[in-house]
Homo-oligomer: A and B are copies of this chain.
Amino acid sequence: MRIVGVSSISAAVLGASGFSGGELVRLLDTHPSIEVTYVGANRSVGKRLAEVHPHLAPMAAGGLPLKALDPDAVSGAADVVFTAMPHGSSARLAPALLGSGSIVIDLAGDFRLPAEAYPRWYGFEHPEPAWLDEAIYGLPELFGDRLPGAKLVANPGCFPTPVILGCAPLLEAGLIQPGTIFVDGKTGLSGAGRGPSEATSFAATDGSIRPYRIPGHQHTPEMERGLELAAGTAPAIVFAPHLVPTVRGVLTTCFAPLRSDTTTEDLLRCLADVYRDRPFVRVLAPGEMADAKRTRGTNLVELQAVADPRSGTAVVIGALDNLVKGAAGQAIQNANLVLGLPEETGLSRSAVVP
């Protein structure tokens, strides 16, 4: 790895033709210390990046040619490698990149779970289980102290991020109790990836509200593991994701067992204390309600919690932009911390509203 902290750190974005890859390039365009020098993809090799992402045409990196996913070339060109390919690709590619001294921030799910979970939840046997122990689960607000100098970061999934940020402090404080947490997730269509299909067409999606992949979504064990890492106790998660007709935005609604005599104010005070100085977490006031729209284009997450003493339930809500705090933005936040930069470098809190 090259020396960190100087003015220009070089970065590769692999999987640059997808949504998360495009968002990485878009966000890094204004990053003062990281410069994209390599864009890799499986398809469209040889095209300029702006040909596959026309909105990147005004950016310097828009003129870069898409190159193959060759680890030696990548490591030669980049201090930091963001891997944003489909699940299963980075598990095979990362070891070579790491071996060449690159830092790897993986946006796929390839380093988020223990080895034994992959066959069931991802449908493949993990090819490099030894590296799983090296990976830091990159939720900076909870595990930021493990990031400086890390070599391999498992960037969290879009649904687990608000669930863990919202529930872990309450679990740790004992305000919600161990047991089962029921998680209802809603996501915009960019979460389904860029490849066209009838199900993700405008004609099929506009006017649609659809659940999917219940109960086997791969973010289920990630939520359980992230909560255990953060709070020391592992609730069982039941997770039901849904597609709703918007492009960006995730909102998660968690139903968790409330400690008796706990009020909404108790829940919110706990969250506000934990995230007091964190630039990207907004704990809402009582009665205010989260809105995925207010996070669009930003690295913000909004958290709300409500106590329902009638049923003994805490309803914990989180909202974010799945391509920023749920993917590319959090990856950059992780890279900043790995590299010793302020975590907010190059990241926005300015939502494009309305």
Residue ranges of A at the interface with B (Cβ–Cβ < 8 Å):
19, 22, 26, 29-30, 53-55, 57-59, 180, 182, 184, 186, 188-190, 194, 196-198, 200-212, 214-215, 236-238, 240, 242, 244-251, 253, 255, 279, 282, 288-294, 296-298, 300, 304, 306, 308, 310-311, 313, 315, 317, 319, 349-354
What are 13 pairs between A and B in contact, CB < 8 Å?
Answer: A202-B247, A204-B354, A206-B245, A207-B247, A207-B248, A209-B250, A209-B292, A210-B291, A211-B317, A214-B306, A237-B311, A244-B245, A297-B352
Cβ–Cβ < 8 Å partners of A204 in chain B:
202, 293, 354
Q: Does A246 contact B196, Cβ atoms closer than 8 Å? A: no
Query: Contacts A238-B315, A315-B215: A190 and B255 contacting too (C-beta < 8 A)?
Result: no
- Are B209 and A249 interface neighbours, CB within 8 A? yes
Q: What number of copies of this chain does the assembly contain?
A: 4
Smallest CB-CB A-B distances: 8 pairs: A184-B184, A215-B308, A203-B354, A58-B349, A55-B353, A202-B205, A208-B293, A209-B251
A196 to chain B, nearest CB (A): 4
Q: Please pick, from B54, B201, B297, B313, the residue contacting A200 in the complex, using a CB distance under 8 A.
A: B201
Q: Is the CB of B247 within 8 A of A354?
A: yes
Contact of A293 among B58, B202, B209, B249 (CB under 8 A): B209
The residue of chain B having its C-beta at the shortest distance from the C-beta of A348 within the complex is: B30
In Å, the complex CA distance between A57 and B295 comes to 11
Task: State the CA gap A57–B279 with chains docked (Å).
Answer: 12
- Residue numbers in B under 8 Å from A188 (CB-CB): 209
Please indicate the chain B residues that have their CB under 8 angstroms from the CB of A22 in the complex. Answer: 353
In the complex, the answer to whether B247 meets A310 with C-beta atoms within 8 Å is no
Residues in B whose Cβ lies below 8 Å from that of A189: 201-203, 206
- Are B249 and A207 in touch, CB under 8 angstroms? yes
Q: Say whether A215 contacts B251, CB under 8 Å.
A: no
Bound complex: CA of A58 vs CA of B246, how far in Å? 24
Q: Does the CB pair B311–A19 fall under 8 Å?
A: no
Residues of B within 8 A of A202 (CB): 189, 200-202, 204-206, 245, 247
Asked if B311 and A208 sit within 8 Å, CB to CB, the answer is no
Whether A240 contacts B253 in the complex (CB less than 8 A), given A196-B196, A197-B196, A202-B247, comes out as yes
Contact A289 B186 (CB under 8 A): no
In the complex, what distance in Å separates the CA atom of A333 from the CA atom of B105?
37
